[in-house]
Copies of this chain bind each other. A is one copy, B any other.
Amino acid sequence: MARGSNPLYQSLVDALRRAIESGEYPVGSLLPTEKELCERFGVSRHTVREASRRLADIGLIVRRAGLGTTVSARTASPRFTASLGSLTELLQFTQSTRLEILAIERIKADAALADVLRCRLRQPWVRLRTLRYPSGSSRPLSHTSIFLLPEFEGIERHVKAGTQTIFGLIEEHYSVRILEVLQDIGACAIEPAVAALLGVRSGSPGLSVHRHYLGVGSKPLAISLNTFAENRFRLSTRWRLGWGQDLGDAAD
């Protein structure tokens, strides 16, 4: 092939990749230092670093000042990734919606709830039961139970406008950051109480979407249990081939 000529650093990338893949540098081991690679390949440090950077970009190595360069994976597999411009896109409401709060109460998780929320038994929560409406419509799109840490109680005072999202309000008013969202989707038969609110037959098919909003240290900040009636909502995700960045096994 070699359309045109290979940059010098590319041959270095190739060589190191082969060496890693062959097991010469096992995962977890140290790569030769940059200085040593300079000598071994007879190139300047800049060239070594360019190659090293490429390998780090595709997740094969991790470079750390003072420590050295360690091999973090044996092969670079292209990954499929999906991305959101903002957390709000997770909700995927094509039009604006408003949130109606039906009830707010302090509860402690019983066995069934603790299982769903993946929390301790008797963990205290503030529960909001809400309906979300497409703006201008009186037929709700979904029913949502939102569970908040007790420290966020009072958030309902800020929900005036009704067009925002709860987690947005939490980030805004309590200066916490949501770093991670676990989303879990399944089918369910809509239970009678919710069915009545959504205006569908009890037991009719529904989409159940659970979302755990986590902060630093994967601490659960809020959990939402959404129920959508059939045909009222679809959830789309676009996966693209690329090289997603690695978080992987850095410490921890």
Contacts and interface: CB of A to CB of B under 8 A. Distances in A.
Interface of A: 77-87, 89-90, 177-190, 204-207, 228-231, 233-245, 247
Given A80-B90, A82-B83, 19 more contacts: A80-B86, A82-B82, A82-B237, A179-B240, A180-B241, A182-B239, A183-B237, A184-B235, A184-B236, A185-B207, A185-B236, A185-B237, A187-B206, A187-B231, A189-B205, A189-B230, A190-B205, A240-B247, A243-B245
A238 B237 CA distance: 12
Q: How many copies does the complex hold?
A: 2
A248 to B, nearest CB: 11
19 contacts: A77-B83, A77-B85, A77-B86, A78-B84, A80-B86, A80-B90, A81-B82, A177-B241, A180-B239, A184-B236, A185-B234, A185-B236, A187-B205, A187-B206, A187-B229, A188-B205, A188-B231, A189-B230, A204-B205
A177 B86 CA distance: 29
